[in-house]
Amino acid sequence: MEWGISAGYWQTEELKEQFFTIAAYPVFKFHVLRSKTTDGYFFYSVAGPAFQSKTNLDYELLGRKFTFRDYMGIGMYTGKRKQLNLELNIGHFSNGNLFSSNAGIMVPLSLNAGFCF
């Protein structure tokens, strides 16, 4: 288990509305491949508290600005010292029905790249 933080800047498909999110969350990783130069894994995160800058997107009421982030995907650390990190994931922001409006936000596919120090 690891902990993560994220900040995202997004645009909706229908009305091209722009908004941002900030989240902190637990990440559960299950390594399925290990070699000298690459470690591959599956990961998921559930119910990380998050903030979204808007409560109405593409005519949908999302509830309040407090929400949760959930996501899952596959990833790998690669390179001589496994310093390059690549991930492919799908995600969702939702308030978990804490409020009367809970349309949620689907993030269909994200490709993330990072460098480990």
**Mean pLDDT to the nearest integer, 29-44:** 97
CATH architecture of the domain with range 2-115 = Beta Barrel (2.40)
**Mean pLDDT, rounded, of the chain:** 95
Confidence at residue 116, expressed as pLDDT on a 0 to 100 scale: 87
Place of tokens 């498909």: 13
pLDDT digits (tens, 9 = 90+) for 61-114: 999 999 999 999 999 999 999 999 999 999 999 999 999 899 999 999 999 999
Where are the chain's structural domains?
2-115
Nearest CA-CA partner of 90 in 111, 76, 68, 113: 111
Confidence at residue 95, expressed as pLDDT on a 0 to 100 scale: 94
pTM of the model: 0.84
